[in-house]
A and B are shown apart, each in its own frame.
Chain A
Amino acid sequence: MSKSVSRREFLQIAGLTAGVAALAACVPAPAPGAAQSGPSSERIKLIYTTWGFGNWEDFIQMFNESQTKIEATFEQVAYDAYREKMLTSFAAGQSADVVEISSAWMAEFMSKALLADLDPFMANDPNLSMDKWLPNVFMNKMHTWEGVTYGLPSGDSPKVIWWNMDLFEQEGVKTPLEYEKEGAWNWDNFHQTVLQLTKGEGATKQYGYHTWMGRSDTDDLMRSFGGGWTNQEATEVTASDQKSIDGLQFILDIYLKDKAAPLSQQLEAMGGGQQMFMTNRLAMFMSGIWEVYGLRQAEGLRYDVAPMPMGEAGRFMFNGANALTIPTSTKHVDEAWELLAFLKSPELENKMVQGEAFMPFQKVNVETFLTKGYIPTAQVFIDALEKGWAHPLPINFNGAKMDQVVGDALGLALSEGHDAEWTVAEAAPKLAELVQ
């Protein structure tokens, strides 16, 4: 038996079907990392959110398997959209229960009482008490505010100099570590090394050095010369001091006078600093531990790390260690601490150090890190913390605007060949409006 369907009936059926499909699409899919078995309906549900890489789904699964009363899920958000999504969820009072927050944003969150005080929990946790951590990993305004701890250090690392062993051997140039052993790894010898490693022209040119010409990387260098864009509290602009100008001129000369560092137009066209390093067109670059992910993929590449050179005022290595936090908006602070304590437990950190490009922040895992073998002189990262070379960027609620001002001035200086005095004159008045 057949029955013909009129156009009107067909449209009605199609509309109904579309409506049902739309409703069905609104039913949430099971979140990754959710426990697949057990009486999950009675468990307290928690969410952990981060932008960072790592085997988080596996780790959350491990946590869930160890629990009878909590069930955690994991949300990964790309870094570019992370702050927007995080702030939106905070504004709506629906933030995750454990949240990774960038060091650059922590001061604002801590000062506005949006994060839970972790000190009472740490004091009662034998694994995570203060004496278990490497020195200097808890930084003022990045993890602590007015003496109270609001975040546990997570991810990131101090920035070091990555150097290409093959290029150094090929050119017969003394390595940064040889200079360091002699106590002579200073800016003069660094400059000499950069020049020795720069050769060629055009698309195949080999460059001696690359750094990101932004506020954080240039600030380290200026501090090492005895200056800085601002004072450490970011309450006063110090860029016009002669030592700041000397530091800035030093790096501008490497780009503009020596032409020993790729300008952004060369860098973009050649696939970026890491790509140039991996294809033997860049001898040294400044960056953090995450570079290991890419560098390990390059077959036959031999690399190592060195500390930043010593300057008149000391050695400064920008450290952007992020923080794992518990928002005050969570309804389950105690349970959130259980999840946080698991994520920062020495055992889990050990797994991360073994399996991925993470540096440890806890003393017990240093040995594993040093013997893992994918960075020959991994001790440099530990030294940066233990010897106090690692420093945070001066923290300020206008940090993003300050980054923009300095970035604009440096961009112009590099593209139009201006010197440090011009660059400072361009940036300093605008910075003065932003310091607090």
Chain B
Amino acid sequence: MKMTMARREAVEGYIAISPWILGFILFTGGPILASIAISFSEWNFIEPAKFAGIANYTALFNDPLVWQALKVTTLYTIAAVPLGIVFGFWLAILLNQKIALLAVWRTIFYLPALVSGVAVATVWIWVLQPDFGVLNSLLREIGIEGPNWLFSQTWVIPSLVLMSLWGVGGGLIIYLSGLQGIPTEIFEAAQIDGANAVQRLFAITIPMMTPILFLQLVTGLIGAFQVFTSAYIMTKGGPGNASLFYVLYIYRNAFEYFDMGYAAALSWLLTLVIIATTLLVFWSARFWVYYDVDIKDF
């Protein structure tokens, strides 16, 4: 029996993507399923896992560090994500103007996004050093005694939020492509009607960009809930657990205390929090995201 062209193409397509499918099943899907089972067990690697029922999940609610980790992560997310979007968008608007050396400016602002998290963290340890770091030295020049930044319970989260802005250039390409996709006739029509730059920004640019802002918000939220490198390298969760990010706490339980069952339960709680937050944002989209094509037309 001879295969039709369509069937043959489909088979070849599946063969072509089979390495990814296999990789996903073996290295992502499998561990995800296994982690569900592990979360209902007591397992320290040394001895065989023992069924623990829902003990790990009930322990979550009695562990003050879980709430501390959730609080720290939520505060960081609330501050870092909107600021990252505002600064990234603002930067994109500036770099969408007709100015000299535009390509050079765009490259300069995008470059930090390419530097690895560990390298960035190491540089920022120096920048935020309280006694002779760059930031406090500059503040001292204008008569302000800077705080202890990473070594202060009050300032450690603002420090990490500040540092997160280093990577706003990462969203630049997406914002720029969105900005360049807005039809110029709309701006021209508004200009003829007498709208000034601020009015055009709020009445045209921002509404037309809301699908892009929505995408950045969703991916930003998911990313912020999973912050790990900066806290692991720069603060180790301190001082006094003031920067105990949730994923860092999962890491501690899994790879410092080797309490794999509890770490798996923590991971699933985070998954639920991220899913709930993402659903909330998707629900809210109907009130503020503008699509120039009605979704139901698709």
Binding site for B on A (CB under 8 A): 8, 11-12, 15, 18, 22, 83-84, 87-88, 90-91, 108-109, 112, 114, 202-203, 263-266, 268-269, 400-401, 404, 407-409, 411-412, 415-416
Contacts and interface: CB of A to CB of B under 8 A. Distances in A.
A90 B256 contact: no
B45 A265 contact: no
A interface, by DSSP: helix, strand, loop or mixed? helix
A202 to B, nearest CB: 6
Interface string B239-280: 111000000000010011110000000000000000000000
A265 B151 contact: yes
Interface in B104-147: 125-126, 129-133
Nearest 5 pairs of A and B residues by beta carbon: A87-B45, A412-B240, A269-B129, A415-B239, A415-B151
A268 B132 contact: no
Contacts of A268: 125, 129
B129 A408 contact: no
Contacts of A412: 153, 238-240
Contact of B46 (A12, A87, A400): A87
Contacts of A266: 129, 131
B148 A415 contact: yes
A114 B15 CA distance: 45
B153 A91 contact: no
A380 to B, nearest CB: 32
B208 interface: no
A11 B16 CA distance: 9
Contacts of B12: 8, 11-12
B131 A411 contact: no
Nearest to B122: A268
B196 to A, nearest CB: 48
B15 A15 contact: yes
B interface, by DSSP: helix, strand, loop or mixed? loop
B150 interface: yes
B152 interface: yes
Contact of B238 (A22, A83, A112, A408): A408
Contacts of A112: 46-47
Given A202-B132, A203-B132, A264-B151, A90 B46 contact: yes
A99 B113 CA distance: 42
24 contacts: A84-B255, A87-B44, A90-B46, A91-B45, A108-B46, A109-B46, A202-B132, A203-B131, A263-B151, A264-B151, A265-B148, A269-B126, A400-B256, A404-B252, A404-B256, A408-B238, A408-B239, A408-B240, A411-B238, A412-B153, A412-B240, A415-B152, A415-B153, A415-B240
Given A15-B15, A87-B258, A401-B257, A269 B133 contact: yes
Contacts of A18: 19
Nearest to B128: A265
Contacts of B258: 83, 87
B170 to A, nearest CB: 26
A279 to B, nearest CB: 15
B129 A411 contact: no
Given A109-B46, A265-B129, A269-B132, A411 B150 contact: no
Nearest to B64: A430
Interface string B80-100: 000000000000000000000
Contacts of B15: 15
B217 to A, nearest CB: 34
A114 B46 contact: yes
